[in-house]
């Protein structure tokens, strides 16, 4: 069994980034006896605080990762710290569009060291926000996790809007994923899409899906909450409400193996001549 905590963080515009980082690090410290703790997308810098992103951005050696890294060492868990606006490290490439900013997810090991980073591939905003301010990530990322009670599992990393792109989850499946981890700042206005797409990505790939959303209202956008954990058969194992909340769920990895072998739909995949599209 993999003991998972999904920390659905609520915030508004009245809390500074520093206050929030301190508060959320404390929330992480309180999650004892977990194998995996998950936080939402951009919770420190503000999911929709577009105009503040450049000023708030920080390198992976910055204060958000440092504060979480210290908290993680007190939990003994692997912690997916959600994402932050990553500023290019000095001497590194600013990316093809020269912006030097990404929406980057970070997985920390129990020792507080970075195990994996994933730069969001699909930028959300339809002409504002991410597509005009941030670079797009160019790689899919998986990360191996060994539970404290033994038993390894492969995490496939995705962020928020990525959930709408099933081909990315297929690629993560083909890279060995058994559990997709999806931090988000998904608005309340489309929360039914969030619920449905998470279940679809789980069922079609026969994977667990851990979705950690944001709650509260910031930058004028009401967030949807409804973080959920979905089994490989598409069943919702736990779902949060619309306020700050921590979900505690045990994932039975043997159930995943049993379901994949008793209903072996993935073995019937057929690769069609072209999966590309004209743009």
Ligand X SMILES: O=C(O)CCC(=O)C(=O)O
| Nearest in space to 104 (alpha carbons), one of 152, 149, 44 | 44
Report, in Å, the least distance between residue 43 CB and ligand X: 12
Of 28 and 49, nearer to ligand X (C-beta) is: 49
**11 belongs to the binding site for ligand X (CB under 6 A):** no
**212 belongs to the binding site for ligand X (CB under 6 A):** no
Strands ordered across the beta sheet of 2-8? 114-119, 101-108, 78-87, 36-38, 2-8, 245-251
Of 40 and 109, nearer to ligand X (C-beta) is: 40
Asked if 3 and 252 touch (Cβ cutoff 8 Å), the reply is: no
Residue given tokens 């980034």 in the structure block: 17
- 73: helix, strand or coil: coil
**74 among known catalytic residues:** no
**135 among known catalytic residues:** no
Of 47 and 100, nearer to ligand X (C-beta) is: 47
**124 belongs to the binding site for ligand X (CB under 6 A):** yes
Give the binding range for ligand X (CB under 6 A) out of 84-92, 182-190, 207-215, 261-269: 182-190
**209 belongs to the binding site for ligand X (CB under 6 A):** no
Report, in Å, the least distance between residue 161 CB and ligand X: 3
Report, in Å, the least distance between residue 160 CB and ligand X: 3
Q: Can you tell me which of 89, 132, 190, 241 binds ligand X, judged by CB under 6 A?
A: 190
Residue given tokens 């057929």 in the structure block: 270
| Helix extents (H) in the chain | 17-29, 53-56, 63-72, 130-133, 166-174, 191-205, 253-262
Asked if 198 and 169 touch (Cβ cutoff 8 Å), the reply is: no
Active-site position among 86, 130, 135, 160 = 160
**120 among known catalytic residues:** yes
| Helix extents (H) in 116-176 | 130-133, 166-174
How many amino acids of this chain bind ligand X (CB under 6 A)? 10
Between CA 96 and CA 69 the distance in angstroms is: 30
Asked if 265 and 215 touch (Cβ cutoff 8 Å), the reply is: no
Fill in the per-residue mask, 153 to 172: x = in contact with ligand X (CB under 6 A), - = not in contact. -------xx--x--------
**185 belongs to the binding site for ligand X (CB under 6 A):** yes
Give the binding range for ligand X (CB under 6 A) out of 61-69, 77-85, 183-191, 262-270: 183-191
And the tokens for 138?
Answer: 């160019």
Query: Beta strand pairing status for 78-87 and 245-251?
Result: unpaired
Q: Which residues bind ligand X (CB under 6 A)?
A: 47, 124, 160-161, 164, 185-187, 190, 193
Catalytic positions are: 41, 120, 160
């Amino acid at each position: 069994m993999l003991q998972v905590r999904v920390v659905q963080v609520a915030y508004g515009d009245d809390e500074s980034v520093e206050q929030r980082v301190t508060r959320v690090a404390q929330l992480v410290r309180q999650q004892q006896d977990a194998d995996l703790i998950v936080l939402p997308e951009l919770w420190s810098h503000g999911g929709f605080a577009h105009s503040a992103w450049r000023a708030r951005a920080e390198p992976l050696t910055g204060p958000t990762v440092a504060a979480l890294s210290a908290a993680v060492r007190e939990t003994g868990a692997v912690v997916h710290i959600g994402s932050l606006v990553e500023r290019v490290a000095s001497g590194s490439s600013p990316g093809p569009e020269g912006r030097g900013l990404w929406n980057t997810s970070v997985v920390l090991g129990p020792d507080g060291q970075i195990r994996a980073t994933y730069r969001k591939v699909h930028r959300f905003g339809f002409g504002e926000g991410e597509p005009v301010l941030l670079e797009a990530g160019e790689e899919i990322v998986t990360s191996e996790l060994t539970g404290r009670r033994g038993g390894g599992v492969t995490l496939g990393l995705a962020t928020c809007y990525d959930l709408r792109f099933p081909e990315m989850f297929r690629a993560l499946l083909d890279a060995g994923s058994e559990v997709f981890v999806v931090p988000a700042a998904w608005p309340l206005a489309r929360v039914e899409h969030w619920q449905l797409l998470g279940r679809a990505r789980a069922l079609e790939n026969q994977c667990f899906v851990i979705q950690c959303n944001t709650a509260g209202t910031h930058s004028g956008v009401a967030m949807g909450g409804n973080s959920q954990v979905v089994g490989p058969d598409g069943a919702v194992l736990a779902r949060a409400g619309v306020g700050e909340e921590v979900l505690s769920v045990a994932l039975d990895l043997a159930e995943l193996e049993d379901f994949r072998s008793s209903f072996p739909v993935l073995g019937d995949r057929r690769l069609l001549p072209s999966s590309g599209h004209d743009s």
